Structure 1
Amino acid sequence: MESKSTILLHNITPDEFKEALILSLKEVILELLLETKKEKPLEYLTRKQVAEIFKISMVTISDWNKKGILKPYRIGNLIRYKSNEIEEALTEIPFRRYN
Protein backbone atom coordinates (compact mmCIF):
# COMPACT_ATOMS: atom_id res chain seq x y z
CA MET A 1 0.00 0.00 0.00
CA GLU A 2 1.33 3.42 -0.94
CA SER A 3 1.85 5.94 1.77
CA LYS A 4 0.88 9.51 1.05
CA SER A 5 2.93 12.34 2.41
CA THR A 6 1.59 15.78 3.10
CA ILE A 7 3.62 18.94 2.89
CA LEU A 8 2.47 21.79 5.05
CA LEU A 9 3.51 25.31 4.19
CA HIS A 10 3.48 27.88 6.96
CA ASN A 11 3.62 31.64 6.64
CA ILE A 12 3.16 31.65 2.86
CA THR A 13 0.06 32.32 0.83
CA PRO A 14 -0.84 30.20 -2.18
CA ASP A 15 -0.03 33.16 -4.46
CA GLU A 16 3.39 33.65 -2.86
CA PHE A 17 4.09 29.94 -3.25
CA LYS A 18 3.02 30.09 -6.90
CA GLU A 19 5.30 33.07 -7.59
CA ALA A 20 8.25 31.40 -5.85
CA LEU A 21 7.67 28.22 -7.86
CA ILE A 22 7.45 30.13 -11.16
CA LEU A 23 10.66 32.04 -10.36
CA SER A 24 12.50 28.79 -9.56
CA LEU A 25 11.29 27.17 -12.76
CA LYS A 26 12.37 30.18 -14.82
CA GLU A 27 15.86 29.98 -13.31
CA VAL A 28 16.15 26.27 -14.10
CA ILE A 29 14.91 26.77 -17.67
CA LEU A 30 17.35 29.65 -18.20
CA GLU A 31 20.25 27.49 -16.95
CA LEU A 32 19.24 24.69 -19.33
CA LEU A 33 19.03 27.11 -22.27
CA LEU A 34 22.46 28.52 -21.48
CA GLU A 35 23.93 25.01 -21.31
CA THR A 36 22.52 24.07 -24.69
CA LYS A 37 23.74 27.30 -26.27
CA LYS A 38 27.34 26.79 -25.14
CA GLU A 39 29.60 26.68 -28.14
CA LYS A 40 30.29 23.27 -29.48
CA PRO A 41 33.95 22.39 -29.84
CA LEU A 42 35.16 23.68 -33.19
CA GLU A 43 35.18 20.92 -35.76
CA TYR A 44 36.87 21.08 -39.14
CA LEU A 45 35.14 19.37 -42.04
CA THR A 46 36.57 18.09 -45.30
CA ARG A 47 35.18 18.98 -48.71
CA LYS A 48 33.70 15.50 -48.92
CA GLN A 49 31.96 15.85 -45.53
CA VAL A 50 30.46 19.21 -46.53
CA ALA A 51 29.27 17.73 -49.83
CA GLU A 52 27.63 14.85 -47.93
CA ILE A 53 25.96 17.22 -45.45
CA PHE A 54 24.37 19.27 -48.24
CA LYS A 55 24.03 16.30 -50.62
CA ILE A 56 25.81 18.16 -53.39
CA SER A 57 28.72 17.39 -55.72
CA MET A 58 32.35 18.38 -55.27
CA VAL A 59 31.95 20.66 -58.29
CA THR A 60 29.21 22.56 -56.45
CA ILE A 61 31.51 22.86 -53.41
CA SER A 62 34.17 24.47 -55.63
CA ASP A 63 31.55 26.76 -57.17
CA TRP A 64 30.29 27.84 -53.74
CA ASN A 65 33.89 28.54 -52.67
CA LYS A 66 34.38 30.84 -55.67
CA LYS A 67 31.06 32.60 -55.04
CA GLY A 68 31.91 33.14 -51.37
CA ILE A 69 28.99 31.04 -50.13
CA LEU A 70 31.44 28.83 -48.25
CA LYS A 71 34.69 29.92 -46.65
CA PRO A 72 37.43 27.32 -47.08
CA TYR A 73 40.60 27.21 -44.96
CA ARG A 74 43.85 25.75 -46.19
CA ILE A 75 46.63 24.12 -44.22
CA GLY A 76 49.28 22.76 -46.53
CA ASN A 77 47.42 20.89 -49.27
CA LEU A 78 44.36 20.29 -47.11
CA ILE A 79 41.14 22.28 -47.43
CA ARG A 80 38.85 22.40 -44.40
CA TYR A 81 35.67 24.19 -43.37
CA LYS A 82 34.64 25.27 -39.88
CA SER A 83 31.47 23.43 -38.88
CA ASN A 84 29.91 26.51 -37.30
CA GLU A 85 30.47 28.52 -40.51
CA ILE A 86 28.82 25.76 -42.55
CA GLU A 87 25.70 26.15 -40.39
CA GLU A 88 25.88 29.95 -40.73
CA ALA A 89 26.06 29.64 -44.52
CA LEU A 90 22.48 28.45 -44.50
CA THR A 91 20.16 31.36 -45.11
CA GLU A 92 16.52 31.49 -44.17
CA ILE A 93 13.99 31.82 -46.94
CA PRO A 94 11.08 33.97 -45.78
CA PHE A 95 7.73 32.26 -46.11
CA ARG A 96 5.43 34.00 -48.54
CA ARG A 97 1.76 33.35 -48.33
CA TYR A 98 0.04 33.28 -51.67
CA ASN A 99 -3.69 33.95 -51.81
Structure 2
Amino acid sequence: MAPSFILQMTSSEIQEKRIGYIVTRKIGSAVTRNRVRRRLKEAVRHVFPAQITEGQDYILIARENALTQNFSELEKDLLWSLRHVQRLDREKQDRNKPAADKIHV
Protein backbone atom coordinates (compact mmCIF):
# COMPACT_ATOMS: atom_id res chain seq x y z
CA MET A 1 0.00 0.00 0.00
CA ALA A 2 1.30 3.43 -0.89
CA PRO A 3 1.63 5.96 1.94
CA SER A 4 0.36 8.84 -0.22
CA PHE A 5 -2.72 7.44 -1.88
CA ILE A 6 -5.03 4.51 -2.46
CA LEU A 7 -5.45 3.36 -6.06
CA GLN A 8 -8.63 1.61 -7.15
CA MET A 9 -9.45 0.23 -10.57
CA THR A 10 -12.73 -0.91 -12.05
CA SER A 11 -13.91 -2.01 -15.47
CA SER A 12 -15.83 0.44 -17.57
CA GLU A 13 -18.04 0.13 -20.60
CA ILE A 14 -16.61 3.36 -21.96
CA GLN A 15 -13.53 2.66 -24.06
CA GLU A 16 -11.38 5.54 -22.92
CA LYS A 17 -8.87 6.22 -20.18
CA ARG A 18 -10.50 7.85 -17.16
CA ILE A 19 -8.89 8.82 -13.88
CA GLY A 20 -10.66 10.28 -10.87
CA TYR A 21 -9.12 12.07 -7.90
CA ILE A 22 -10.52 12.22 -4.39
CA VAL A 23 -8.98 14.62 -1.89
CA THR A 24 -11.06 14.95 1.27
CA ARG A 25 -11.22 17.82 3.75
CA LYS A 26 -9.15 15.73 6.17
CA ILE A 27 -6.14 16.63 4.03
CA GLY A 28 -6.47 20.34 4.79
CA SER A 29 -7.69 23.62 3.38
CA ALA A 30 -8.81 24.13 -0.21
CA VAL A 31 -5.36 25.38 -1.15
CA THR A 32 -3.73 22.27 0.30
CA ARG A 33 -6.24 19.94 -1.35
CA ASN A 34 -5.67 21.59 -4.73
CA ARG A 35 -1.90 21.28 -4.32
CA VAL A 36 -2.27 17.56 -3.52
CA ARG A 37 -4.55 17.09 -6.52
CA ARG A 38 -2.04 18.85 -8.81
CA ARG A 39 0.82 16.69 -7.51
CA LEU A 40 -1.17 13.51 -8.13
CA LYS A 41 -2.19 14.65 -11.60
CA GLU A 42 1.41 15.41 -12.52
CA ALA A 43 2.59 12.02 -11.25
CA VAL A 44 -0.19 10.35 -13.25
CA ARG A 45 0.83 12.31 -16.34
CA HIS A 46 4.37 10.92 -16.02
CA VAL A 47 3.48 7.31 -15.18
CA PHE A 48 0.07 6.35 -16.56
CA PRO A 49 0.01 7.05 -20.32
CA ALA A 50 2.12 4.04 -21.26
CA GLN A 51 0.79 1.78 -18.51
CA ILE A 52 -3.00 2.00 -18.38
CA THR A 53 -5.46 0.18 -20.58
CA GLU A 54 -8.64 1.47 -22.12
CA GLY A 55 -11.89 0.31 -20.65
CA GLN A 56 -10.64 0.75 -17.08
CA ASP A 57 -11.45 3.52 -14.64
CA TYR A 58 -8.85 4.49 -12.06
CA ILE A 59 -9.50 6.32 -8.81
CA LEU A 60 -6.77 7.90 -6.71
CA ILE A 61 -7.74 8.64 -3.12
CA ALA A 62 -5.22 11.02 -1.58
CA ARG A 63 -3.69 10.59 1.85
CA GLU A 64 -1.95 13.22 3.96
CA ASN A 65 1.53 12.11 2.82
CA ALA A 66 0.73 13.05 -0.77
CA LEU A 67 1.66 16.64 -0.01
CA THR A 68 5.06 15.99 1.58
CA GLN A 69 6.34 12.81 -0.07
CA ASN A 70 9.28 13.15 -2.45
CA PHE A 71 7.90 13.39 -5.99
CA SER A 72 10.09 10.60 -7.40
CA GLU A 73 8.91 8.31 -4.59
CA LEU A 74 5.33 9.30 -5.37
CA GLU A 75 5.86 8.24 -9.01
CA LYS A 76 7.45 4.93 -7.94
CA ASP A 77 4.55 4.19 -5.60
CA LEU A 78 2.09 5.05 -8.36
CA LEU A 79 3.77 2.70 -10.83
CA TRP A 80 3.93 -0.11 -8.27
CA SER A 81 0.27 0.39 -7.30
CA LEU A 82 -0.83 0.44 -10.91
CA ARG A 83 0.95 -2.82 -11.69
CA HIS A 84 -0.44 -4.36 -8.51
CA VAL A 85 -4.10 -3.56 -9.26
CA GLN A 86 -3.67 -4.71 -12.87
CA ARG A 87 -2.18 -8.02 -11.68
CA LEU A 88 -5.05 -8.52 -9.24
CA ASP A 89 -7.54 -7.80 -12.04
CA ARG A 90 -5.87 -10.38 -14.34
CA GLU A 91 -5.95 -12.98 -11.55
CA LYS A 92 -9.62 -12.27 -10.96
CA GLN A 93 -10.38 -12.68 -14.67
CA ASP A 94 -8.40 -15.94 -14.79
CA ARG A 95 -10.36 -17.35 -11.84
CA ASN A 96 -13.64 -16.53 -13.58
CA LYS A 97 -12.70 -18.20 -16.88
CA PRO A 98 -14.01 -21.73 -17.34
CA ALA A 99 -11.11 -24.12 -17.60
CA ALA A 100 -11.21 -26.31 -20.72
CA ASP A 101 -9.35 -29.15 -19.01
CA LYS A 102 -12.01 -29.45 -16.31
CA ILE A 103 -14.66 -30.53 -18.83
CA HIS A 104 -14.92 -34.31 -19.09
CA VAL A 105 -16.89 -36.00 -21.82
Structure with greater strand percent: 2
Higher relative contact order (CA 8 A, sep 6+): 2
Normalising by structure 1, report the TM-score. Answer: 0.27
Structure with the greater alpha carbon radius of gyration: 1
Normalising by structure 2, report the TM-score. Answer: 0.26
